[in-house]
Every structure is written in structure tokens, then in C-alpha cells.
Structure 1
Amino acid sequence: MAKKLDKVDLKILSELSKDAQMPYTEVAKKAGVSSGTVHLRMKKMMDAGMVTGTTLSMDYAKMGWTVSAFVGIHLDETSKFDAVFEKLELIPEVVKIHYTTGKFNMFIKVHARDNMHLKTILHDQVETISHIKRTETFLTLHEMLNRHILFDESTI
């Protein structure tokens, strides 16, 4: 069963979701608690596996990686998900992997330098994995939103 978070925990998470590099002393001021409280609560949430680390957000297009795509994957046997996952995980350009319901067994997100790079990733790496029956690719034209839930009293 999931640990129940209180208003202080949620305020801490919301502040760090906006800026993961914010010093705990600043988070503490915004949450109305001591920096020791922030350290203790973050440690407890990390130990419980609720917080698994911090990430760096990057704008791939500004770095020359102009193509992002979602790829729906049909497996020949759904029981082979783990084996396919292990192979997909080895492809550096695959940044997200989801086990899904509906039309596809899996959905992945891929970043590529250009269309030819995407073709190489799909043709030479993804589609050669055993148990992948077929794929369907959806190009992303523009990511409009990428965020965490910002918790407040209305979400608890």
C-alpha cells in the first residue's frame, strides 16, 4: 500500500518538481518548515521509492536532434515483453518504454538527429528484435507540455 503523503510532503515535491536544483533551504522557506525537515522527508520518500532521483530536462531539437517519435509495438507473444524490453533498453535513443493496453503491447519514445537516423534506429535496431511483430511510428511535431503533477490541497 502506498504511503500517505501530507501537505508538507506534497509542498516539498511540488517545489522540487519546478526546480530540482533548488537548495533544500529555499524549499524549506517555501514550505514553511526547517531545512532539516526537508532533508528528513526527502530521505524517507527516497527510501520508500516514491522519489527515485532528479533528472535534467533537455531540449533535444536545440542540440540538433530534430526528430522525436512514439513507436507502437506489436509483439508476437505478450509473454515476451521482458525479453523485448531488455533489448530496447540497450538502444540509447530509446528514452521511454511503456507496457500498454489497447492496440499496442508496448509504446516507446525515441529521439533522433534526423529522419535517416530514425530510419536506422527503427530498421536496424528496433525491428530486428525477436518477438516484435510490427511497429507503427508517430512523429512528434512539437512537445507542448512536459511536467510533473504540482501537488496542492486540491490534489490530496
Structure 2
Amino acid sequence: MKDRLDAVDHKILSILSEDAQMNYTEVAKRAGISPGTVHMRTRKMKNLGVIKGATLSLDYSILGWKMTVFLGVHLREASLYKSVINQLALIPEVVKIHHSTGKYDIFVKIHARDSIHYRQLYQESILTIEGIREIESFISLEENMNRHISFEEEG
């Protein structure tokens, strides 16, 4: 099947996961292939939906956003899931939403400038969402790792 990813594709993904803005010539040099191959393979992976774009890795605290908070959300009813995530997605400070198993129905990551901003978000935007039964908050003290998995095959 021509749409399968091979070791070359995995090498390209691993290199780009370190720096998504790296130009194709540098990726090619590190992967030991031609820039044209990188361009063709990258286009293929975009068409397959494997690569969804490039993102910046930001240090929010330097930008004045001192709090990262995770919310474990319990729903009143499982059928309200779509409605609740759609409402959460409207809040600009919400950066990740996960439908989860275990103790919580939804797990959410938000950024806030400080505790006053977080309290305002929590009370005025999050607690007012119809369908939420209960929320447990977890304040992140420090992020120690943020990476992608390695896509290169071992061995």
C-alpha cells in the first residue's frame, strides 16, 4: 500500500518534531536524503492527515501567563459531552480538551495570567457551562517535559 509510512517517513517526522520550522534542506541533510524527497514525503504525510501543520512551543510564563491548570470534569450525563466540549472550546484560555476514561469524563488544560484571572475564568466561564456536574482543579507547578514520541523504528 503506497500510503503506508516507512522508515524514511518516520525519520522525517522525528526530525520535524524537534523543530517544525526546520527547512527541507536541513531535514534532508540530517536524514541523509534529498530535499526533494523530504518535500514529497512531507506533502504525502500532510495529505494523509499525519501532519496537521506546524506549531510553536511557547513559554507562557515569559509571556505573563503564570498559571497552567488542568481540570477534571464530571458531566451530569454522558450525552452532554459534545455540548460541553463545544462550550469549553469557545473559551480562549482553554488549550486542550480530552475525552477521558477513568475518574473524569473530560480533562481540560487551560492557561491563566494569575490566580485572579483563573478564578474569573472558573467562576464566570467554566462553572456556567450547562452539563457540568463537578470539576476538580490541578495547578501545574512546573512543566518538565513536552515532546513528541520518537517515530523511528528501533533495531
Query: TM-score range, shorter-chain basis?
Result: over 0.9
RMSD over aligned CA atoms reads 1.1
Partner of 1:42: 42
Partner of 2:82: 82
* 1:119 maps to amino acid: R
Q: TM-score, normalised by structure 1?
A: 0.95
Partner of 2:97: 97
Partner of 2:134: 134
Task: Describe the SS at the equivalent of 2:16.
Answer: helix
Following superposition, which runs of at least 4 residues in structure 1 exceed 3 angstroms of deviation?
Answer: none
Cα distance between partner residues in 2 of 1:21 and 1:89: 27
The number of equivalent residue pairs is 153
Cα distance between partner residues in 2 of 1:58 and 1:102: 30
Cα distance between partner residues in 1 of 2:41 and 2:48: 11
Cα distance between partner residues in 2 of 1:18 and 1:55: 11
1:103-141 alpha-carbon deviations (Å, 9 max, x no partner): 100000010000111111111101100001110000000
Task: Describe the SS at the equivalent of 1:109.
Answer: strand
Please state how far the C-alpha of 1:9 moved relative to its aligned partner.
0.3
Identity %: 52
* 2:72 maps to amino acid: G
Which ranges in structure 1 are unaligned for 5 or more consecutive residues? none
Which ranges in structure 2 are unaligned for 5 or more consecutive residues? none
1:31-80 alpha-carbon deviations (Å, 9 max, x no partner): 11111111111111111111100100110111111110100000001111
